[in-house]
Each structure stands twice: as structure tokens, then as C-alpha cells.
Amino acid sequence: MRPRDGAGREPLNAVRAGTGVGAVRRAAPGPPAGAGTGLWTTGGDAAAGRGEVRGWAALPAVERPGLASADLSERGFPGLWEDLRRLGVGVEAGVWSVADAEALAATGLECVRVLAEIIGGAEGTAVPRAHAVLRRLGDLAVPGPRLLHGEHAPAWVLVDEAGRPGLATRIGLEDVLHGPAGEPVEGNAEPVRLARARLVPGG
């Protein structure tokens, strides 16, 4: 869930987060509503990002994210983890590389899920890169379920790869702007429908 303002920015502040989470929960009350915490939302200012996340304390429980993604490659992961846990928000650790997997293991912090993200790069290298990250997480006994996904060129390849061992995955316009055959898609629901058809028999 990434609410945007009128200029297309993705602010972390309580007003935007609460509005987005509330809307998602009304439409789909079952799954936990997640939020991102990427540093690009505050122009790379980690302190400002943590300040906005702390502002979620003012939100009623129904408008507070159930989980939030926090990337190991960005500054201040341990502090952000602590802020989120104080708020009762589960942490989804974004791991982009083997080095990130090692950094997560070194923190000793447990997360509700590990998000193995293969960002960019050649489509043909996506699966080996994904396997390297997942294998290192396993070698280091990092706890938590895994979600595998890619952005840009590797996105659809990794939807298929996630389906083979039964890993969770995700897809949407944040990740890729076309379907698996390069066809245009209309709206965020269409790539989800296309992914489900590839992963679920009769889906």
C-alpha cells in the first residue's frame, strides 16, 4: 500500500498512511495492510522518515499499518525496526542482495517476513541472483517466511520462480508496467490477475 499525494509523492506521514490503510481495510478486511518506508519518500533523510513513522502513533488501530517494509540497504534499519515494533507494526525486511542477507543476520532482529527483492539488472540473471539471496538467508538461519519478487525486467520471471517452491510473491504497477508478454496493462489489478492465472490452476 503506497498512498500518494496530489503531486504523486509517497509521504509517510500519519494522514496519508492512515487514509490509505483505512481504505484498504474497508475494501479487504482480512489481510494485514502494509506500508513502505523507503528513504526516497523523504529525499534520503532517514531522521525525517523515522519522525514520520513515529507519527503513526496518533493513528487509531484500524488506520495503522499491520506491517511495514524496511530495506537493509538503507540507513538506519535497526532504529526504524525499533520504531515500528514500538507501534505494534510488524517489520518486513527488504533484502536486495547477499550482503543485505548477511546484514540482516548480523542485526539479530526478527521480522514478520523477509522480502527478497531482485531490483533491475538483466532478466537472465534474475533467477541465479534470487537463489543466491535465498540460499544465504537459509545458510544464516534468518527466521521468517520469504516473499520473492522483482522490479522492472525480472518481475515476471520471478513471479514464476516464486511459484515453483511455493513462495509468496507480489506484482503491481510499482514493480512493472506491462504483462508477462510485454503487453500493456490497465490498472494495478490486471498484473495481479495475470500473476494469479500463472500461479493458481484455474486462477
Domains of the chain from N-terminus onward: 1-86 (no CATH), 96-203 (3.20.20.70)
Q: Please report where in the chains the cell 520471471 appears, as a residue.
A: 157
In angstroms, the CA 190 to CA 180 distance is 11
**What count of Cα atoms within 13 Å lies in the side-chain half-sphere of residue 99?**
2
Cα angle 140, 144, 145 (rounded to 5 degrees) comes to 115
Q: What share of the chain is helix, strand, coil (3-state, %, to 5)?
A: 45, 15, 40
pLDDT score for 77:
94
Other beta carbons within 10 Å of 70? 27
Q: Kind and range of the H or E element at 118?
A: strand 113-119
Identify the burial level of 122 via C-beta atoms within 10 angstroms of its C-beta, where 0-12 means exposed, 13-18 middle and 19 or more buried.
Answer: exposed
pLDDT score for 182:
94
**What pLDDT tens digit does each residue of the chain (203 aa) get?**
455 555 555 556 666 677 777 777 788 777 777 888 888 778 888 898 899 899 889 888 888 888 999 999 998 999 999 999 999 999 999 999 999 999 999 999 999 999 999 988 889 999 999 999 999 999 999 999 999 999 998 999 999 999 998 999 999 988 999 999 999 999 989 999 999 999 976 55
pLDDT score for 92:
96
pLDDT score for 105:
97
* Cα 179 to chain centroid, rounded: 20
Overall pTM surpassing 0.75 (yes/no): yes
What burial letters (b/e) apply to 141-179, b meaning 16+ CB within 10 Å? ebebebbbbbbebbbbbbbebbeeeebebbbbeebbeeb
pLDDT score for 63:
85
pLDDT score for 1:
47
Q: Kind and range of the H or E element at 160?
A: helix 155-163
In angstroms, the CA 161 to CA 144 distance is 19
Secondary structure of residue 33 in the 3-state scheme: coil
How far the first Cα of the chain sits from its last, in Å, is: 23
pLDDT score for 48:
87
pLDDT score for 174:
86
pLDDT score for 130:
97
